[in-house]
Structure 1
Amino acid sequence: MTVTSPEFVAGLAADAQAAGITGLVAAAVINHDGRVLLVRRNPDDYMGGLWEIPSGTVENGETILDALYRETTEETGLIIGQVTGFVGHFDYQNSRGGTTRQFNFSVTVEKTEPVVLTEHDAHQWALPSALPDVSNAVRELIAR
């Protein structure tokens, strides 16, 4: 079963629901020339100033993959060419006190520039060995 099959994606969502997870997020690990794209949360946002991979909430009626494509384009202006793998998930406490599960997919993009930010204040292509201020979960994810 491929990571883009409807059965695989539905299973991810079902497992999260069974675990009592209240929010789902889809995230893109975009690599280019040995570097990964990171975006920085606005200073006045929840977890402001933290660097992260492009990600966003799975809306009602949307699959995890639908959200992955939509959020990547909304947040960076980049268009996903292909989903190349599922690199795992991690859970974190969200701003409302519930638990969110972030599903992380490695992707290719049609073009790596320009990066057009709508929800973040900066971006960088970072070497996995020299990451800025990211969460431990994102650091572990990129190290895989």
Structure 2
Amino acid sequence: MTSTPQCRPYRIQASIKDFEVPVHKYLHQHPKISDILSAAILIHKNRVLLVQRAADDDFPNLWEVPGGTADRGETIVQCAVRELDEEVGLAASTVAAMVSEYGWTASDSGGSDSQEWGVWKVFCFLVMIDGANEELDLEIKLDAREHQAYLWATETDVRGGFYGDTSLNWISSNQPQAILAAFESARSSGC
């Protein structure tokens, strides 16, 4: 079992042991990467937990899965577990799979003299919560500084980009692909 100072212990599947590397070590081994984000994709009752960014935060009103920037003193997996806890108040018990990784170059888009901020890498993990079964409703506690709403979307919702009348305007075009990969991983592993 692994734990972070902020989170309860959790298990990781053998297939993702390579992502239990400290962030500073990963960045040292990959000097072209400036920073790392990790995300936790939680599927419960055949639905994925999505959170909507706060209207007064960066990337306002966009939908995403819980996640954020990794701290130098934690591992890539620990970041996903910590972000799930901080953003929605849920403690992951198992990190089941790394379902997607992608990157982008962040730059100052404020003018024509844009400077490159660097290459960011995002790792998306399928997480599970002990005791989360078909009868249990999970209590979500949003951090209002970061997110203003949440919903539980089906795979069909993600594919169509709508939850009822709500348009799922994604923080990144990579988000729905990562979520769909998590649905597939959950099906194939029986999660």
State how 1:1-144 maps to structure 2 within 5 Å.
Answer: 2-5=14-17, 7-10=18-21, 14=26, 18=30, 20-94=32-106, 97-110=117-130, 111=132, 113-118=138-143, 119-131=146-158, 132-134=168-170, 135-144=172-181
Report the Cα offset of residue 27 of structure 1: 0.6
Contact 2:22-2:75 within 8 A present in 1 as well: no
**What is the alpha-carbon distance in structure 2 between the residues aligned to residue 11 and residue 79 of structure 1?**
20
**What is the alpha-carbon distance in structure 1 between the residues aligned to residue 152 and residue 31 of structure 2?**
34
State the SS of the aligned residue for 1:37: strand
Amino acid corresponding to residue 137 of structure 1 in structure 2: N
Report the Cα offset of residue 114 of structure 1: 0.9
Contact 2:100-2:125 within 8 A present in 1 as well: yes
Larger CA Rg, structure 1 vs 2: 2
- Render the CA deviation track for 1:15-51: whole Å, top value 9, x for unaligned: 7952612111111010011110000111222221110
Which stretch shifts more, 68-77 or 15-24? 15-24
- Render the CA deviation track for 1:80-121: whole Å, top value 9, x for unaligned: 011111102111344764332111110112355210011211
Q: Which runs of 5+ in 1 are unaligned?
A: none
Which stretch shifts more, 48-57 or 12-21? 12-21
**What is the alpha-carbon distance in structure 2 between the residues aligned to residue 14 and residue 109 of structure 1?**
27
Amino acid corresponding to residue 32 of structure 1 in structure 2: H
Contact 2:38-2:122 within 8 A present in 1 as well: yes
State the TM-score, normalized to the length of structure 2: 0.66
RMSD: 2.5
* Dislocated runs of 4+, deviation >6 Å: none
Q: Which runs of 5+ in 2 are unaligned?
A: 1-12, 109-116, 159-167, 182-191
**What is the alpha-carbon distance in structure 2 between the residues aligned to residue 25 and residue 37 of structure 1?**
18
**What is the alpha-carbon distance in structure 1 between the residues aligned to residue 97 and residue 126 of structure 2?**
5
Contact 1:94-1:100 within 8 A present in 2 as well: yes
State the TM-score, normalized to the length of structure 1: 0.85
